[in-house]
A and B are shown apart, each in its own frame.
Chain A
Amino acid sequence: MRRLVDLFLSLKLTVTLLVLSMVLIFAGTLAQVDKGIWTVMDQYFRCWIAWIEWSVFFPNSVSVPAVVLPFPGGFLLGSLLSLNLVAVHSSTFKVLVKGRRLWVGYGLLLLGLLITVGVVLGWGMAPVAATENDAFWRVFFRLGRGTLAGAVLFAACWVLYKQRAGMVLLHAGILLLLVGEFFTAIFAVEATMTIREGETATFFDRSQQFELALTDTSDEEVDRVTTIPQSLLKPGKVVSVGALPFDLKVHARMTHSNRPVPLDSVSEGVREAYPTYAGYGERLYVARSREVSGATGERNAPAVDVELLDRRSGASLGRYLLSIWFYPNFVNQIWDMPTTVRYEGREYELYFRNRREPALSESGAPYAVTLLDFVHERYEGTQTPKDFSSEIRLVNEGDGIDRNLRIWMNNPLRYAKRTFYQSGYLPEDEGTVLQVVRNDSWMIPYLSCMIVFIGMAAQFGLSLKRMRKREAA
């Protein structure tokens, strides 16, 4: 155990971890030439072991063996750095006071931690924090809240650690930043909400999670929806769900599929190799494509190739290519292409789509967002957007909220622990696309910055004072 503690106390470990982090960031950046940013995030940074493809270090024109190297992932490096920081912190900085002063220090520390937790959790903030006018003041007040927490923590450090207060505080700020990023990686969720003018949305489309939705539309009053998460659609597996009268055999799952083109527009060779599909695949060509590059800002369009099987006989009921290209919210509602299947007198609509999440407030009450008006101004004589904004009505009957609000560029709405940003719009300005982000640790970077700033300023100030004192002596 002693050797383990010594290892974590070592500065060599810090330097080694920082060098490994740089290598990982370098490889992850290069990997984005051929892969989407989210694939790279999962493969390199948001994992314990990263698998680095040797080919990322060479141009595509150079042929290199397909070697994959295991490497410490972002989580592992971040965790070891955090442990290293805590270990060094604990052994280097000792509390220098006793008695009453010690209790005063602990009291201030408790108060500082309470303020820190309050700032992170948004205590005292309005439940619907909408569209504060001035971006400068908005950021200024966030930093102000961070400064308050930092100042109280500094006071605690000053009482407990005296001249080393600045060093202690700035290390604590860095640790907070590392822990905050870890929580962001694990818990932050990105989604979109697409609404046409005059229409109401009650759900989000998760940006990075997908599902196969099979909707029984036979009933006149309600639709019965069965959703199968993408993670359960493993190639070769037969998925059997009690609510469905048939099974699904998964032939393939594609990270990215091409935009649909008429089947007769592809070469004969490609057409011959194309499976015989029912549904849209019968006349459209959609197949596995190379992932979009993270450098382009485009999105991957995942797809699944599934075959429906009669549960009793195992006979095929048709093989279907289901791509997210057919889902209206993925294509800004330019089209809507459900795959319709009829079986045993019932009708089913199939979509491979973004995972759908109901809009619920913190109390669990559902809420709805209606788009009242969408305004899109352009610079005169050009197509360059000058400003676009959404006038919305937010209604949550359970929590007694009914408000008209405006969301526009750089002026998001904060509600129910989510931030609604103006992100895009539908063709002909017929509607809006809001990016909806839930990140409970979003205040931590502001907080960490101010804690580190106060710590550094104190450290420099105290060092300067000591130097002047020595010079005077």
Chain B
Amino acid sequence: MKMRLIGAGLLIGLGGGCGEEQVQTYEVPKQVPLVREPVKLVEAPLRLGFEADVPASWKELPGQGMRVVSYQIEGTEIDFYAIKLGMGELTSNVNRWRGQIGLAEASAEAIAARVKPLTASGVPVAYVELYNPDVDKGILAAIIDEASTYWYFTAKGSVSELRAHSADIQRFINSIRFK
């Protein structure tokens, strides 16, 4: 009986002698960076209804009126904001934006040909870039059909500033994850 108790005690005490962790030094073949983003990212808060990787140089501004959120892009006068609506017809919206920067209306076919298809975490995005160098105005816009809700991400500003930040804006749109 005593022996069985001692045996059981020994069995239970087995795990006690685990080795302590130690400093290690080793060589590995030259590592290829996994991802090296030029812009370090932080995440948009969830309360907006979506998550996204927001460049650290952008400042989030609270929503106002129809705007769910706005972003101030450091060193620019770009007005970038998001709204959501129950409708999202492409041609009429693009023609409305064209009108805002002094461009004539375009046909549905011409607009469809200019749309750049993106995806926001698997959701298709209709993304357009409109520029009018004559008045130095442009609009970058994305319409995302998130099952019964249409999200509009619109950036308005000068042609040069929009061109300079087009890649960041597209990366931001690609990173959007709806909740």
Question: B178's contact among A229, A259, A383, by CB below 8 Å, is which?
Answer: A383
Q: What mask results when residues 6 to 33 of chain B are scored 1 for a CB within 8 Å of chain A, else 0?
A: 0011011011001011111111111101
Interface 9-mer from B87-95, B99-107, B118-126, B132-140: B118-126
Q: Which 8 pairs between the two chains have the least Cβ-Cβ distance?
A: A186-B15, A229-B21, A243-B25, A79-B12, A222-B27, A86-B8, A336-B35, A328-B34
Residue B1 at the chain A interface, CB threshold 8 Å: yes
A187→B42 CA distance, assembly (Å):
37
Whether B27 and A335, one on each chain, are in contact in the complex, defined by CB atoms closer than 8 angstroms, is no
Q: What mask results when residues 40 to 83 of chain B are scored 1 for a CB within 8 Å of chain A, else 0?
A: 11110000000001001101100000000000000000000000
Q: Which residues of B contact A219 (CB under 8 A)?
A: 30
How distant is B99 from chain A, measured CB to nearest CB, in Å? 33
Within 8 A of B (CB), among A414-444: 427-429
A231→B1 CA distance, assembly (Å):
41
Whether A333 and B122, one on each chain, are in contact in the complex, defined by CB atoms closer than 8 angstroms, is no
Q: Which residues of B contact A268 (CB under 8 A)?
A: none
Residue A64 at the chain B interface, CB threshold 8 Å: no
Q: Which residues of B contact A223 (CB under 8 A)?
A: 27-31
Residue B5 at the chain A interface, CB threshold 8 Å: yes
A-B contact pairs, 29 of them (CB 8 A): A5-B1, A82-B12, A86-B8, A87-B1, A87-B5, A186-B15, A187-B15, A215-B31, A217-B31, A222-B30, A225-B26, A226-B24, A229-B21, A229-B23, A241-B23, A243-B25, A261-B42, A262-B56, A283-B56, A284-B56, A333-B34, A333-B35, A334-B37, A334-B41, A334-B175, A335-B37, A335-B53, A337-B40, A427-B175
How distant is A66 from chain B, measured CB to nearest CB, in Å? 31
Q: Which residues of B contact A283 (CB under 8 A)?
A: 56
Q: Which residues of B contact A348 (CB under 8 A)?
A: none
Question: B40's contact among A217, A222, A280, by CB below 8 Å, is which?
Answer: A280
Q: Which residues of B contact A261 (CB under 8 A)?
A: 42
Q: Which residues of B contact A344 (CB under 8 A)?
A: none
Whether B121 and A427, one on each chain, are in contact in the complex, defined by CB atoms closer than 8 angstroms, is yes
Residue A204 at the chain B interface, CB threshold 8 Å: no
| A contact patch SS | mixed
Of the candidates A91, A261, A335, the one having the most CB atoms from chain B within 10 angstroms of its own CB is: A335
* Chain A, residue nearest B123 (CB): A383
Q: A179-B12, A186-B18 are in contact. List 16 more A-B contacts (CB 8 A).
A: A83-B5, A83-B9, A86-B5, A90-B1, A219-B30, A221-B29, A227-B24, A227-B25, A232-B23, A260-B40, A265-B60, A334-B175, A335-B35, A335-B40, A376-B122, A428-B119
Binding site for B on A (CB under 8 A): 1, 5, 8, 79, 82-83, 86-87, 90-91, 179, 182-183, 185-187, 196, 209, 215, 217, 219-229, 231-232, 241, 243, 259-262, 264-265, 280, 283-284, 328-329, 333-337, 376, 378, 381-383, 427-429
A211→B34 CA distance, assembly (Å):
19
Q: Which residues of B contact A262 (CB under 8 A)?
A: 42, 56-57, 59
Residue B147 at the chain A interface, CB threshold 8 Å: yes
Whether A182 and B2, one on each chain, are in contact in the complex, defined by CB atoms closer than 8 angstroms, is no
* Chain B, residue nearest A242 (CB): B25
* Chain A, residue nearest B22 (CB): A229
Whether B41 and A335, one on each chain, are in contact in the complex, defined by CB atoms closer than 8 angstroms, is yes
Whether B15 and A183, one on each chain, are in contact in the complex, defined by CB atoms closer than 8 angstroms, is yes
Given A82-B8, A226-B25, A243-B25, CB of A259 within 8 Å of CB of B42: yes
A195→B119 CA distance, assembly (Å):
22
Q: Which residues of A contact B8 (CB under 8 A)?
A: 82-83, 86
Q: Which residues of B contact A1 (CB under 8 A)?
A: 2
Q: Which residues of A contact B11 (CB under 8 A)?
A: 179
Q: Which residues of A contact B123 (CB under 8 A)?
A: 383
How distant is B49 from chain A, measured CB to nearest CB, in Å? 13
Q: Which residues of B contact A378 (CB under 8 A)?
A: 122
Q: Which residues of A contact B53 (CB under 8 A)?
A: 334-335
Q: Which residues of B contact A428 (CB under 8 A)?
A: 119, 121-122, 174
Q: Which residues of B contact A265 (CB under 8 A)?
A: 59-60
Q: Which residues of A contact B37 (CB under 8 A)?
A: 334-336
Q: Which residues of A contact B41 (CB under 8 A)?
A: 334-335
How distant is A184 from chain B, measured CB to nearest CB, in Å? 10
Q: Which residues of A contact B174 (CB under 8 A)?
A: 428
A196→B32 CA distance, assembly (Å):
13
Whether B33 and A225, one on each chain, are in contact in the complex, defined by CB atoms closer than 8 angstroms, is no
Q: Which residues of B contact A5 (CB under 8 A)?
A: 1-2, 5
